[in-house]
Every structure is written in C-alpha cells, then in structure tokens.
Chains A and B, each alone.
Chain A
C-alpha cells in the first residue's frame, strides 16, 4: 500500500431532534489506504451511505473528523469543500446521474469544465477517458441510448476525469445485472485502481466481495469489524 488516503475519526451523525433524533453513524473510526479497494458493507439503514457522505465532504458530521492529506476536511469552507470534491474525490452514483440532454463525452467532460478547462481540451480528455472505459465509440450518443453497463462506464469515466485520489462508488452493482456488475467492478479493480488512488465502495452485494482488499461491516451506525477481502475460499 502507498500510504493513508482517508482517516475517519470518531464520526458521529444524527438526524432530527428530540424524540425524533436518530443516529445514523455512531463513533466510527477507520482508515483507507491508497492502492486499495475498501468496501463498506451492511444492511439497509446501517449508515454506510451516510458514512460515505461524511468522508467525501458532502454531509457535515455532528462530531468527529475526516483527514485527507493530513487536513480535516470539515474545517474547510463550503467553497473549499466544493474544490476538495472536485479535485480529490470522484463519485459514481448508484443511479449514475448522467445528463440525458448531453452527449456521453460531454457528460464525462463535466468535472474538467468545472475546473475551468477549455471546452475543446475537456472534450479531448473526455475521449481519452472514454477509451479507458472502452466506450469511445459511444462518445456522441446521449446516455439514454446506452445500456446500463455502458452508462456505468460513463459514470466511471466522469468520476476519474478529474484524476481524483479517492473514488467513491455507491452501490455500483445495484442498477446492473449480476454479470455486468461483476465485470464492471473487475474492470475498476484492474484499470482504475492504482497506487495513487483509493477506491471506497458501498455495497451489500456479496458477489463482488472477491475484489475487495478490505471489507468494513456496519450495522446500526457502528462498525462490526474490518475483514480482509479477496476471493472466497471454498
């Protein structure tokens, strides 16, 4: 492993107040390293998506800290947090959230455009990323004309377009059939993961556990344990 990518310390998050107060994350601490596929696994309502939001600078915790590059991201202003997400984190959402009115290439180029890169330069880079995910020939089609697996690849290309250190996948196989889901995660493991990047995946799909380096199990907002991933031993 090439070093510490994210360090979460005693993260607590609750929603509501008074009798309606519900704890989603209760004192969670963990570390994820560069070069690893780190899974967060647990049943629905276990707090894994909330935890993902806390460590990616999307949802402010009630207490605790998230260190990236030795800096607590929650000490940043909202504009700094937006820059942090743009430059350090890549997101692959469960429903992809691609823009149906833009072409595939334009979708991939969005983070680059947000970084104020020139339009043509962004489109050229987008083509390179589409080539990496193997759908360069779909560059000028709108996402709605692509299959679920292809849309997932577009979302991955968009996530890696800004060359983030941390890549966040939220239930990457939830919208795909079993085979496609496995192929996508396998592809990510072999083509997207590298020594300079940490991939954090939230999932409860045990069929893709074999690609994990470590799996953190959660329940009721707490960590039950962190196991080593890899192929199942029969």
Chain B
C-alpha cells in the first residue's frame, strides 16, 4: 500500500497549481477559524482576570452578578453569616469598583480598584517592586504592571496621583497572570481605604472570598449561602458563569460562531471545489487504473490519503500563520486579547477533517462511478 500512497502523493503534489489552491483554501479556512476562536478565547480568558488573579476558592456574590467587574454589593451581615458556616476556614470581603485617577500630567484615567481585606490581604498580587507591608502606609496603592500599565504614565514607586480628591501613592508594582478585558489599569489597596476613598453605595462588600476547610465542605457552604439568598461559586464555576454570560448574553458568542461557520464554509467551498476539479481532471486516469487492475478500495484509499494530506498540511500552515499573526499583534498591541487553546485547535481540526471528508466523499463517489469501459469507449 505504501507504493500506492506514493503514487497518490505524487499525483497530488506534482499538480502544483491545484495543490496550491487546495492548500490555500484549507489554510485560509483554518487561519480564519483559529483567529476568530482564539480572539474569543482570549476575551473569555481576560473577562475572568479578577477571578484568576485573586485566586479565591469560593466566591460569594449576589445571584444577579454575571462577571467579576459588575458586582452588586452585599450587606455586612452576609460576611458574618458566611464566617459562621461550618466548613469555612476563613472569609474576607473584597471591594471591587471603578474610579477616576488624576495623573501628574493632569490627565484623568479610569482604573479598577480592588480593596483587599485589611488583616489578611487575601488575594494580593505578586510584587515585582516594593514590599506588600507598605500597602498599610498612608494613601498607599499597588499598581499592576500589565498591558494597561502605560496608561498610568508608567508609574514608579513613589509616584503620586489623585483619586477622588485623595492623594494616592504607588508603593508597589505587581504582576498578575491575566490582564483585564476592558483596557483599564488595576490598583490594589486595602479594603478600608478603598471604601473610604471611592464613593460607595450603602453596602460595600462586592464579593466575599471564602477558603473552605476542605473540598468536601464546598457543597455544604454553597447550600448555606443559598439559604441566605446569595450565590457561592467555586473559582471554576465563576469563570464558567462569566464565559456563559459573554457567550450567550452579549451577542459576542453568536457573532464569533457565525464568523467561524463562514470561515468553515469558505474553506469547504474552495477546497471542495478544487478537490472536485482535481478528481474530475484525473477521472480518466482513475478509470485507466481501474482497468489496469486497481480495486475500488485502493482508489478510495488514494483519494482519502490525498484529501487527508492536503487537510493536515493546510491545518498546520493555517495554525502557523495564525500563531505568527497573533504573536506579531501581541508585540505591537499589548491589549490584543487572543489565546490559542487546545479547544480551538481541536475544533479547527474537526472542521478540517469534515472539509476533507466532504471533499473526498465527492471525489470517491465520482471515481467509483467511472467504468473502465468508458476509458475504452473514449
């Protein structure tokens, strides 16, 4: 069978024009699919930035909350009630809110402020400059060095700014695993300073971060929180809830799905049409092979091999081009939110296999129908 595959390979790649057109079709389709889905994956990943960066095991919130950036503050008693649930190791409040800071240049810049529990600083980021204890100093803030960092005019330790007519001082520069989605820099401070400096509503606990004594305690904690009329989600569940919100309630998922389907159709059209033409042009030759003594299954094998080889080569090229473009884009645009995941790659592979399957099915049908007698008849 190796020799037959070699013949199939040579028939395919020696027809340079057709082979290039086939590759271009599949490469283009994979490129578009990967670009669209990785952009979506990047957006989803960034939409859960706060959840990932803070790293609490359980998040307690108002049931109407969809994402970490749109919190609904809860009354203070909820924190006490949660702390009293059996199985809770500790529970701390987290303030999350938006504010405007006035930079030294006089420019106003929106920021996200996360207020960490004063006593534990639970959810604090890893500092690359400064000491975390300095967060207790007067007017102290820690700034996150991510893609949005330059919007604060690249502050250093000691850089001052105004926040709601209060003086703010950078005491530390931190790094986090994931940048936020909305292009807004992030400042960390203590919970009490946050609710003092930033105009707040009557309630101030955006989230309650819970550390359970064990994983077995999680279902009980969730049940008890539900009895209070609130929602407790594990980290993964909160990420999933955020993803679901963006996928199904914002139109973003639908648009990306439509674009992905269009990419698939474009790829299928180009590849299917070109492969069909390739088969048609070689139909007489396949008939001659049949007359010489090639069996139907050998011809099917040849066509499947040609389709699979083209599909996988195009798949590799498509991923290569997409990766290259995303890398270049990230170098030029730090905010570019694209993330190639195994899920994206798997989805594109399935799509490509379907393209190859449909293309080869058309070819196989045609080749199996050709009668060697037609070759004699001319």
Contact = CB atoms under 8 A, between A and B. Distances in A.
Q: Do A and B come from one complex?
A: yes
B377 to A, nearest CB: 6
Contacts of A59: 371-373
Contacts of A87: 293
Contact of A85 (B14, B291, B373, B376): B291
A219 interface: no
Contact of A170 (B14, B294, B376): B376
B373 A113 contact: no
B378 interface: yes
Contact of B288 (A93, A106, A122): A93
Interface string B205-236: 00000000000000000000000000000000
A171 to B, nearest CB: 9
A106 B291 contact: no
Interface stretch (A96-104, A205-213, A226-234): A96-104
B137 interface: no
Interface stretch (B4-12, B266-274, B319-327): B4-12
B162 interface: no
Nearest to B15: A101
Given A102-B14, A116-B3, A49 B293 contact: no
Chain A CB count within 10 A is highest, among B14, B287, B298, for B14
B372 A58 contact: yes
B358 interface: no
A7 B376 CA distance: 21
B301 to A, nearest CB: 12
A114 B288 contact: no
B295 interface: yes
A99 B3 contact: no
A78 to B, nearest CB: 7
Contacts of A117: 3
B376 A53 contact: yes
Given A82-B294, A82-B295, A58 B378 contact: no
A102 B288 contact: no
Interface in A52-82: 52-53, 58-59, 78-79, 82
A118 B4 CA distance: 10
A113 B285 contact: no
B293 A83 contact: yes
A179 B337 CA distance: 73
A110 B7 contact: yes
Contacts of A119: 2-3, 6
A101 B14 contact: yes
A119 B3 CA distance: 6
A180 interface: no
Nearest to B7: A113
Interface residues of B, number: 30
B10 A101 contact: yes
Nearest to B372: A58
A6 B133 CA distance: 101
Chain A CB count within 10 A is highest, among B1, B2, B285, B291, for B291
A95 interface: yes
Interface residues of A, number: 36
Interface in B249-308: 284-285, 287-296, 298
B200 to A, nearest CB: 75
Given A94-B378, A119-B6, A122-B3, A111 B292 contact: yes
Given A58-B373, A106-B10, A91 B3 contact: no
A141 interface: no
A216 interface: no
Contact of A58 (B10, B296, B376): B376
B103 to A, nearest CB: 67
B285 A97 contact: yes
Contacts of A122: 3
B370 to A, nearest CB: 12
A86 interface: yes
A15 B289 CA distance: 24
B54 interface: no
Nearest to A60: B373
Contacts of B1: 116
B79 interface: no
A58 B7 contact: no
Contact of B375 (A89, A93, A118): A93
A92 B294 CA distance: 16
A87 B293 CA distance: 8
27 contacts: A58-B371, A58-B372, A59-B371, A59-B373, A82-B294, A84-B293, A85-B293, A86-B294, A87-B293, A91-B288, A91-B291, A93-B291, A93-B375, A93-B376, A99-B285, A101-B10, A101-B15, A102-B7, A106-B10, A110-B289, A111-B293, A114-B292, A114-B294, A114-B298, A119-B6, A122-B3, A158-B292
Interface of A: 49-50, 52-53, 58-59, 78-79, 82-87, 89, 91, 93-95, 97, 99, 101-102, 106, 110-111, 113-114, 116-119, 122, 158, 162, 170
Given A59-B371, A83-B293, A97-B288, 14 more contacts: A49-B376, A53-B376, A58-B291, A82-B293, A86-B292, A93-B375, A101-B11, A110-B7, A111-B292, A113-B4, A117-B3, A118-B3, A119-B2, A158-B292
